[in-house]
Chain A
């Protein structure tokens, strides 16, 4: 294929210029990959921290009476809905605990421990002992443990609002990473909590994880619709974190803007350099046309040049971008050595940045290619 041959020769014959353009594109692509991945990771981190320890959607009683007895029906109706990852139930109540004369207000949470694992990641959060697997066993958070000076297998009393008193045993200690949770939650099995608070078979909330966290509001609406007239209230994390979400959205927009402007400046740079190249090579183009090369073949030369410049720039740029991200992950640590930010590499985004750069470079070559197509051989011969 002759245009390909000529394009490659033109690129090879002007090595300095070629390398310069490729470096230019590479810098643009690396900025895209770096900024895009960094902001993407940052958002993921923020979202993980926000909803890492809470349900995406919560169903509770809409009235002052908190108990839901027909929860099994509700669960059965919800689990078949699209986009639902897991459903678990909880029997929660405020209570006091009394340990050797020290009292503390707590939120006593009876969880359906197996499905709740998907929400809270409790088994990973247990750093000493184990999850409560027997009746009258509880798990206590790190801060509460320190406050009260609890040890494994200690027994303390739970005092309910109507002054009933039950003794429970500490099976393990957890750390969910949030001090307010660690100092407030006492976690037991569902049955233990139901017995202590005389809920019988009832629960106080149904907690749902969805597959796509940003679909939570839509799915919440569907649930509300499905369960209308049951006296329940559906809340979702997106409604409860409106400000955070609009902050994230603003961040996304600024990230897209940076990426767009980088792309635009790369395109303009390539287009102007290739336009100069058409002038530089006009003698060659003129004689090629006199010898019978078609206008389309003449324009292909520059489209191919744009394509190869884009390809080279994209490959090198993605490489540099990944190196920058690697450097960032080594260079930025908390004082205790843990990562300041967990980097998530979205390879689809990175591949897309590369592909967009190749397309943009080829598009940038369209005007020069048209110029090459329109060039008349007599102009060149006459202006010798």
Chain B
């Protein structure tokens, strides 16, 4: 399978005036289209920074990041925004739904950002996605009227809205009980198998990572192990 994410000699240095902290050292890493991967590491290991760089939310100090065949180092902020909107779906630990909008509207948000308009097709697709994550009944609830697990499943449906090639999940179950966590993982697997979406799940929980096909462990800003199963 072709590579959908590739990092070449990526370093990241945080420059705090007199104090310079290097958090990533020469990372070379690639993920194939349709693969199901995890990145693990202690907090402070640099895995979240790596995740933000892969997600184009942050720029590396040096090195190249190529997403879906496009090099990102020369892109403007707006070009990066468009790339994220079309190519990457984000799922965060704290789900970050917009509490002013209903579940259905939250799911359609990436499409609205992309297109600005509202079409029946999108609404149908958003409803299908909410159905997929088992939330058809609460689709018109505001985000604040749903449980944590429901909110995270809404966020997953939202991440899928623009049919992205990549889903980046940063501690997606960190805030959920074990039952909800199990549901979320089953969903990820199902989506991966059905839609061929590439998954990259950042976690500090080894037990969760062990359910994925490839585990990349980051330690002190370097790739410590890279295990495929």
Contact = CB atoms under 8 A, between A and B. Distances in A.
Contact of B81 (A284, A294, A384): A294
B96 A293 contact: no
Nearest to B174: A384
A380 B113 CA distance: 19
Interface in B98-113: 98-101, 109-110, 112-113
Contacts of B55: 290
Given A377-B57, A378-B57, A381-B92, A292 B113 contact: yes
B62 interface: no
Contacts of B93: 384
Interface stretch (B83-91, B122-130, B204-212): B83-91
A2 B99 contact: no
A96 interface: no
20 contacts: A2-B113, A9-B101, A12-B100, A283-B94, A283-B96, A284-B96, A287-B98, A292-B82, A292-B83, A292-B84, A292-B86, A292-B114, A294-B77, A295-B81, A297-B113, A381-B52, A381-B92, A381-B96, A381-B170, A382-B48
Given A295-B77, A381-B96, A384-B93, 10 more contacts: A10-B100, A13-B99, A283-B94, A288-B109, A290-B55, A291-B90, A291-B109, A292-B81, A292-B114, A295-B78
Nearest to B81: A292
A1 interface: yes
B100 A13 contact: yes
Contacts of B83: 292
Nearest to B175: A384
A201 B114 CA distance: 87
Contacts of B2: none
B116 interface: yes
B58 interface: yes
Nearest to B78: A294
Find the residue from A12, A286, A287, A289 having the highest chain B CB count within 10 A. A287
Contacts of B58: 378
Contacts of B90: 287, 290-291
Contacts of B112: 2, 5
Interface string A278-308: 0000011011111111111100000000000
A11 to B, nearest CB: 9
Find the residue from A12, A286, A380, A384 having the highest chain B CB count within 10 A. A384
Find the residue from A2, A12, A297, A380 having the highest chain B CB count within 10 A. A2
B63 to A, nearest CB: 18
Interface of A: 1-2, 5-6, 9-10, 12-13, 283-284, 286-297, 376-378, 380-382, 384
B102 to A, nearest CB: 10
A144 to B, nearest CB: 77
Interface of B: 48, 52, 55, 57-58, 77-78, 81-86, 90, 92-94, 96-101, 109-110, 112-114, 116, 158, 170
B153 to A, nearest CB: 16
Contacts of A284: 96, 98-100
Find the residue from A287, A290, A295, A377 having the highest chain B CB count within 10 A. A290
**Nearest 3 A-B pairs (CB), nearest first?**
A292-B85, A287-B96, A9-B100
Given A9-B101, A12-B100, A378-B58, A291 B110 contact: yes
B98 A290 contact: no
A297 to B, nearest CB: 8
B92 A289 contact: no
B195 to A, nearest CB: 18
B100 A289 contact: no
Contacts of A6: 98, 100
A10 B78 CA distance: 24
A293 B81 contact: yes
B116 A1 contact: yes
A292 B110 contact: yes
Contacts of B116: 1-2
A6 B113 CA distance: 11
